[in-house]
Every structure is written in C-alpha cells, then in structure tokens.
Structure 1
C-alpha cells in the first residue's frame, strides 16, 4: 500500500511539533494529528534549560525565545515591585540572576555559583535565554511548523493503528485512516500510541497531589514569596503575579482528569499555607502527581515514542519539556535520514541508546526532590541540612550544572576526542559567524579550522559523496588552538574532532556511522 505520509506524529505538544519540524527539515512528509483544536494554554513548565535553548538557537529561533523572555521578566519585575514599601519613586527591583533555580524548592543563590565551571563556556547567546514558558514554546513551534509546511490536523484524535514490516496504518477520529512509513507517539503521559503498541512502562506509583495555576485572588498578602514549606505540605507563590503551586503528601487525586476548580485550588492553598486566601478567578490550572515511569525501549518496529509518551515524572524543575525537546532533536534527523534512504534503520537504535539514560536521570532527579519536600520532622531536618550545604559554592554550582543541563552528553567510544558526544561549542568563526548559524538548515556540518595552514583537502576528501547531507566549511577560529577540525551532527552534537596532533578516530567512520554511506562514485 502506498504511504500517504512518511511519518505520522501523534500529538502537537513541544515534543511533537519539534519533531515534525525536524523531520520536515530533513525532507520527510509529515502529518501531525492533535485532539485539541488549538495550542494548549494550560500552565505547565515555566522555563527551559540550556540544551533546549541551543536547539532553538541552532534552528534560528533564539530571537523569538529572547523576545518572550523579556516580556516574562517584565512581569516578574512587576511582582517584585509590588513588595510592601515599594512606592512610585522606589528603585527598580532586581531581576532573577542568570542561573537562579531551585532544588526541591531550596533556592540557589547566584553569588554561590561558579560560572567558570565546566559546561558553561562556549554556549554563545543560548546561555542567556531560559525564562520561557511551555505555552510560549508551543506557540513558537506551531508557527515554525506552519512556515515549514508541516501538515497539522487539530481536532483529530488517533484511535488505533496496525503496523507491519513496511509501515503503519493509522486510524483517526474524524478522518478515517492514513498510511505512513512510521508512527511516533508524542501524545503525552497517557499515550494511546504507547498503550496500543504494548511498550513496557515500569516505574513508581504516585504518592502526592499537586496543583499549579495562574489565578486572581485576594488575601494573598500573607503568602510567602517563592517556595515555602509547612507542616502540611509545600507551596510556591510567583515568580509572576498570580502564579501558585501546592504539593500535598496525602496520596494521589481521586480523579486526575477532572477539571480543576477554584474551590479545589483554594482549599489546597489554604491547607498548605494556613492563609485565608480567596481565589476569585482561575485563568489556567493543572493537577499533577509524582508518578514516575519510563518506556523500557523507545522503539518497537515502525513505532517510536518521544516526550511524555516515553517518560513521566513530577514537574519540578521543568525537566519534562526539556527532555521532550531533546528527544525530538535526537530522533528527527535520524528518522528523516532513514526515510530518505540515506541511512539504515539501525541508526534508529542509537535513539534509545542515547536518550534513555537521560530520561532515567530525570526520573530520579524528580524523585529526590519529592522526597526532600515531605513535611515530616525527619525530612524537615534533612532539608535544613541540604539548604545549609547550598551555601557552599561547590554544592550550588553542582546543582546549577545539573538543572541547566550543560552536563548532558552521549557516551562516546573509548579513546574518542573529549568533545565527541557533547554539545558542539558555539565557535566564533573568522567571518564573524557562529557555529550555530551554520546549522539552521538541519544538515551536518564539517568544519576544517586549519584555514590555509595546511594543504587544502585534509578533511574535505572524506566528505566526498555526501552531497547535500553535509555542509563543509574551511575557516579559522580564534581561542581554540586545541581544535583543527570538527564534525557536528544535525542536532548539534560533536561526532568527531581533531587537534593539532591529529584525530583520535576516523572521520570516514564517523561519517558512515551518522550519515550513512557516501554516494557511489
């Protein structure tokens, strides 16, 4: 049966839209089906980490993120300016520091952070963007999908599918059936794709009920700013006006899917804070738990998973959004290469190999935070000890490193160059351009940084036969004498590198591994 599309993506959240854009950049015919009729405006993650900012930067979307961040910081400034005693002539409030964050609600002070720590250098402008909410991410990606010509069918729900050796027949309501070569489930934590495909989904059960909302309320003057712990739970107020979060440790909700009401939010906030707050209007609200599960494998034949469909966990730190975007960046170019016939299906095996360990880390990272938020006396004592430790620069720097995601990398072969498997440094090249600017089209990049110092062709000879799959650029770069050549995958990960003393691996083998065989002749 002839395929109507190369890939069907179920779900138009950040992971689904990012994946669709990556597939389209790689030349695949993509259909996205989404049961919601519009971009989901429900309050979710409020920030992104460095790998996510880099992903947008490498596709030319960083200015859109920076614009949203500026508007958000202005709202934060308005909240801080509303502090008692802040009159019309008061100086403008200080904005959150660049690396501000929290672990289990314990704030990390910027003056206890060492910016020279490994991982923070050579991130370029992406290192300055992070305060962007998930709703804005979805709007930006939705606009990008339209620009790229991705077909997105909203108000259409995937209800079933049958997979065979050649492809997948997907059933939707409304719409009937469509035939595609591949199906990717990006349809959230209750993924229909995951359930119907029979993916194992082991993990730990929920023990908490949490709420996050943007509301209008009265009597909130008695609420503490930021994160607060009480004998009945945890709550947060801010950083933008009306944003609240509560966590209670009395078990999961009776009905996770029921609409969140103002009365329900008000009762939870009063129980946890002890303040008689009255919620007069709910703009957006969501209910969450600490259910933590991960698919044992991210691929089963012609069906793959990404984002929350592959892993669920508590939302603390906003890691779910970042994990989903990372899944999409990793999978998109690989699946597109397989669709084009440039790479064998075995390339897709590296998707689970590379992304599964990061997902497992996020699950444990959130489990640890939930444990440290418990209101019992023993946990309160442990939390006080942890808060004291964050006064140490080494501790705060470590936590900030983990939160920011700059530590993330993929395992490299033994003896490979230290950069292999890591995010490529955003080098400033001789013509004034930066490395990220050469990745906008989603192709791999081979940089020969020797300029005229050696005979031409030292690296370009190995690139023969890769045509439009690979961009080759001969230039120079100041400040990095340890590098003479660099192969960067379409997702911005270093695949091979060489220094003045030569390479620590074969360029031709790296090209073959990630881009497939060169064209004959």
Structure 2
C-alpha cells in the first residue's frame, strides 16, 4: 500500500500539516467540506513562535508584507499590555492578519508542494486495519472510500475523526458567551483600544479593508442559555453601554457569539489515528492563541509522521507527539480558564485583582516576560527524561547566525530535516555528509545567545527544537555525534562510519 496520509479538515492546521508531510516526501490528501475559504475569520493573530515556524520553511515573507505588526499582546485584556520587544526572537511582535488570508497562503503553499486538496469532500467515518485505515468520505458525487496509512483529524472541536476513534474529550461546558462584530466605523477609537469595567469588556481591532472587529463580554453574558443570534442593534447598544458611544458602527460583515467550553482530548494518538488543532483542544479564544497552538501541533507531528512513513524512524516516534503536545494543551486549558475568570468577574474584588496583575506586568519584567513567552509559544519546550541533560535540550532554538555564511538556522531548516551544527569551525570533523538525510553545517556562531556560547555541536529537529548538545571541549566530537544520531538517538537510521563519514543506513 502507498504510504499515504489523509487529513480531515482544510483549515490552517490541516493545510500546514499537509505541507510538512510533502516536504517529508509523503503523499497526502486533505479533505475539506467547505467549497471555499470561509471569509469570516475567527482568528486574526499570528504569534512570534508561529512566525518562526513559517520562517523555518521560507514562507513568512507574504505574511510580513500583508499583516499589521503589533509589538505586544494582552493577557485577559489587563490594563498593562505584554511587551514582546525584549523577547529573544527575530519576530518580537504579533501579526494581525485574517485567518481567511492565512488559509489562502497555506493552501497555495501546500498545493505547490504537491498536496492533494479536495474541497466539498467530508470525512464521515473510518475503519482500521492492521496496516491501514479505510476512510469513509462523502463527496459531490456521493460516498466513497480511501485507504491511508494514517488519518489525522484536523476537523475542529466537533471532530468526526476523534468521535469515531472513541477518544474522550473531557472538560467544562460553556458558562460565558462572548460576542464579536466585524463592522465599519465612522469614528473609530485609537489603535489598541480596550476597556474593562463593571459594565463590561470591549476591544476594538482594525481589519484589512477598513473594517473593525469589536469583541467583548458584559455581566449579562455570564450565562448558560442561548439568547439568540447577535443583531446590529444589540451590538450597538452593548458597545454604547460599555464605551459611552458606538463609534458610528454600520454595515456589519459578521456578527457572532462564542462560548468558553473548554476541553482536551485524552489522547492525541490512537493507533493510526492522530488529532491536531481544535480537534484536540477547545477553549475560549483569549489572547488569540488557538490557531497558533494548532499550527505548532502540526509542526511537531509533521516530521515525525514523515520519518515514520519513510522508514527512518520506528512507529513509537509517533507516541512522542502526544507526550510532547498534550502538556502544551494542558497549559492552554489552564491559561484559558484563568483568563476567562479575569475577564468575567465584574465585581470590585475582581477589578482589584486585575489592577494588581496589571501593575505586576508593568513593574516586574520577569513576570511580564514569563507571561509573554507563554502567550507567544516561545516558552514551549519538551524537557528530556534525563534531569541532568543540558538545559538547551528540548527548547526551541532561536534563529542562530553564523560567521561564515548569510544562512541562518531557519534557512537551514527549510528542507524540514534535522540540522547538525558543527560550531567548532573545523570542517574535518564531519566528512562527506552528502548521503545523509539531514543538513550538516560547519561554522562558528555570530553573537551566540545565552548558553549557546559554550556549545560545540548541536542537533536541531525539523520543528526547531534542540535534540542534542555537546559542550565538552575535550570530547571526541565524531564519537559524540555517532551516539546522538545512531539507532537509539534522535535521528534513527543515520550512522557515523568508523572514519567519521556520515552515511544513511535507513
């Protein structure tokens, strides 16, 4: 059977995963029930870590050209915003860009790489065999079946894939209804406007094309019943009650309500079934993190699934997807609950708590930085089992620059392969790496950040996280690399010959 992957869902997560799999040489089909990209963009924010992921594949420039750069973000819409400018990243800002445009760019990228994207095709179920999955699909011409090596559910919080697989989705039901309106404004407020008080919460965000997104919560929105669809007159009255004016709103493009149901899949993998994005985690859209976490799910899963299907890794590598990303989902749920509590408590006591936390953000740089790293995804790491391991192992590597080339780490990562860095500058340590399924680079670092100043060699995973580090100045580096990338190391199937020549045994 062809080692083919079917992805249910053609949103940002499914499309990014499709591109990752194609870079890994894996045939992939994306099945999406929508005929066209939904122009009602749920997500607007692209965070720094996601921009790093895009840059590590060389597709970030259109996003930077079209998006609006905002040098910070918010936690629970506290009065003091988080400043991203001190963060250790090439992209110390969020990018405001409608999800519809992100999907269009992702689809073009995946298609150019050879992904097969089928719209108006919906996964309705599946059955597993020992060596494959039979996927049941409803298409324009009626029902049919596809055989795949793996099926990945990127089909949202009501995932058919997750439900059919019997994967539990525990959590809490909705107790709050936020609202949003994409409208034109005759008299818009200043950029970055937000307000919170006993009458409610309101944020106003500019959108491309001259429209604005108004989003908020009032005390009466803390409820479990459904009050009906949002109408323009209700939005106008609600905004006036919070801000004292309606900013001349007119010509609504989209009016909607959304709840805070929060759930996390018990398993991100069950056999030949995997989950990513909203199919794995559902939460209130506080801080604009949802799409970003889903794309980073896909970045973690893509290279592992491709390596498994190429035969350069054993099947149990896929188990590390759940082991690494489920804790990120747990942190996401915790942060969502905390922000909802801060955004829906309109009592004097809660206002005092908000004031206190806002002052801490403004006056305690370490506290502000920790929140910023958590919100942006820059702080996500995958700690090794060995507590004595080097502290850089499992962390995301910044875009390292080298003294001997204009290449940076992110450009070296573009083929979606492991990158082996020889930072000693001595070429003879690695001989003839041409036959190896990884990128080898020799060159000293320019202005190495933090603990990178003592690193002599490093192995960086395709998703940009550090797999292995050598710092001992007396170590036989070739032997150390052999141990790192041999059959039991992070890259299985890649060996060093006794003479130090890299070769591919896979």
Same fold (TM over 0.5): yes
Which residue of 486, 491, 494 maps to 1:515?
491
The residue that corresponds to 1:471 in the other structure is 439
Distance 1:510 1:393 in 2: 40
- The 5 A counterparts of 1:94-493 are 96=70, 98=71, 100-109=72-81, 115=86, 120-121=87-88, 123=89, 125-127=90-92, 130-174=95-139, 175-217=143-185, 226-240=193-207, 241-248=211-218, 249-252=221-224, 254=226, 261-263=231-233, 265-266=235-236, 268-270=238-240, 272-273=242-243, 275=245, 279-373=249-343, 374-394=345-365, 395-412=367-384, 413-429=386-402, 430-452=404-426, 456-457=428-429, 467-480=435-448, 481-493=453-465
Q: Quick one: structure 1 residues 237 and 501, their matched pair in 2 at CA, closer, same or farther if it must change by over 3 Å? A: same
2: CA distance, partners of 1:341 / 1:224: 51
Q: Give the unaligned 5+ runs of structure 1.
A: 74-95
SS in 1 for 2:127: strand
Choose 502-511 or 310-319, whichever is displaced more. 502-511
1:278 Cα deviation (Å)? Answer: 6.9
Ranked by relative contact order (alpha carbons within 8 Å, sequence separation 6 or more), the top structure is 1
Please report how far the alpha carbon of residue 390 of structure 1 lies from its aligned counterpart in structure 2 after TM superposition. Answer: 2.6
Query: Residues 132 and 498 from structure 1, CA distance in 2 versus in 1: closer, same or farther, beyond 3 angstroms?
Result: farther
- Distance of 1:113 and 1:516 partners within structure 2: 37
The reply on whether 1:496 has 2:494 as its aligned counterpart is: no
Measure, in 2, the Cα distance between the counterparts of 1:209 and 1:23.
37
Write the distance in 2 (CA, Å) between the matches of 1:416 and 1:315. 36
Distance 1:152-1:342 versus aligned 2 partners, 3 A rule: same
Separation in 1, partners of 2:456, 2:6 = 41
Deviations 1:332-354 (A, max 9, x none): 01001111122111000100111
Q: Give the alignment's TM-score, normalised by structure 2.
A: 0.87
CA distance 1:400–1:108, change in 2 (3 Å) = farther
Deviations 1:40-92 (A, max 9, x none): 222222222222111000000121121022xx35xxxxxxxxxxxxxxxxxxx
Is contact 2:417-2:438 (8 Å) kept? yes
Question: Relative to structure 2, which stretch is displaced further, 478-487 or 160-169?
Answer: 478-487
Corresponding pairs, count: 477
Aligned pair in 2 of structure 1 residues 58, 113: CA closer, same or farther (>3 Å)? closer
From 13, 23, 31, the counterpart of 2:21 = 23
CA positional deviation for 1:402? 2.3
TM-score with structure 1 setting the length: 0.84
User: Is the 2:180–2:255 Cα contact (8 Å) retained in structure 1?
Assistant: yes
Instruction: Tell me how far apart the structure 1 counterparts of residues 84 and 315 of structure 2 sit (CA, whole Å).
Output: 44
Residue aligning to 2:499: none
Residues 393-444 of structure 1 deviation map (CA, whole Å, 9 limit, x = unaligned): 3233332232222211111232222211011232212112111111111111
Distance 1:468 1:262, change over 3 A: farther
Q: Is contact 2:200–2:346 with CA below 8 Å preserved after alignment?
A: yes
Tell me, in whole angstroms, the C-alpha distance in 1 between the residues paired with 2:109 and 2:436. Answer: 22
8 A Cα contact 2:174 2:261, kept in partner: yes
Partners in 1 of 2:237 and 2:130 — Cα distance?
53
**Is residue 223–residue 275 contact of structure 1 (8 Å, CA) maintained in 2?**
no
